[in-house]
């Protein structure tokens, strides 16, 4: 799905060389994630907000499967994404082989997302620093 379909209120521009400073959650949910080889990796299904720190901590991304069968759900640290600064496309610096080896969430057995070991593992896999100090 294109951000143009989800862009109910518009992307909020600012004076920045990057072009986009703010995007609405409805704009991001459903957006395709493009991997480092330029191919689609998956779609953003949900944003997870840490209510203690008030940060968007993770984007839940689906990958794999066919017609919903065999699809996996990944909690990707929001810091791991970047966009093109113009159209709001989301990019993730991994390829399909890497994402196949990424830690994923079993839909009926969610991890404790506040667990420090889980946080360190997820952030280390995607090569970004945790948003929380002291992790």
Q: Which of 10, 67, 5, 69 is nearest to 32 (CA)?
A: 5
Tens digit of pLDDT for each residue in 120-135?
Answer: 999 999 999 987 765 5
* CA angle, residues 65, 117, 34, in degrees to nearest 5: 35
CA distance 40 to 31: 10
Q: Count CB neighbours of 13 within 10 A.
A: 10
DSSP track, the chain: --HHHH-SS--EE-S-TTSEEE--HHHHTT-EEE-TTSSEEEEEEEEEEETTTTEEEEEEEEES-BTTBT-EEEEEEGGGEEE-SSS--EEES--HHHHHTS--BBTTB---TT-HHHHHHHHHHHT---SSTT-
Average pLDDT over the chain, rounded to whole?
A: 82
CATH for 3-126, among 3.90.650.10, 2.30.30.240, 1.10.10.10, 3.40.50.10490? Answer: 2.30.30.240
Over the stretch 83-94, which tens digit does the pLDDT of each residue have? 876 666 789 999
d(CA 46, CA 97): 23
- pLDDT above 80: residue 74: yes
Per-residue pLDDT reduced to its tens digit, 37-62: 888 899 999 999 999 888 899 999 99
Domain spans of the chain?
3-126
Tokens of 58: 């993770």
Query: Residue 70 and residue 116: Cα distance in Å, rounded?
Result: 28
**Res. 15: pLDDT tops 80:** no
């Amino acid at each position: 799905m294109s951000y143009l379909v989800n862009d109910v209120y518009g992307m909020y521009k600012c004076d920045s060389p990057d072009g986009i400073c703010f995007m609405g959650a409805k704009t991001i949910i459903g957006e395709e994630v493009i991997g480092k080889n330029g191919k689609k990796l998956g779609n953003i299904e949900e944003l997870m907000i840490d209510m203690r720190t008030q940060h968007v901590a993770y984007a839940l991304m689906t990958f794999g499967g066919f017609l919903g069968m065999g699809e996996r759900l990944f909690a990707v640290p929001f810091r791991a994404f970047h966009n093109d600064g113009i159209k709001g496309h989301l990019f993730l610096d991994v390829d399909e082989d890497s994402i196949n080896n990424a830690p994923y969430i079993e839909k009926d057995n969610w991890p404790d997302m506040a667990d420090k070991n889980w946080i360190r593992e997820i952030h280390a896999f995607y090569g970004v620093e945790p948003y929380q100090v002291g992790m």
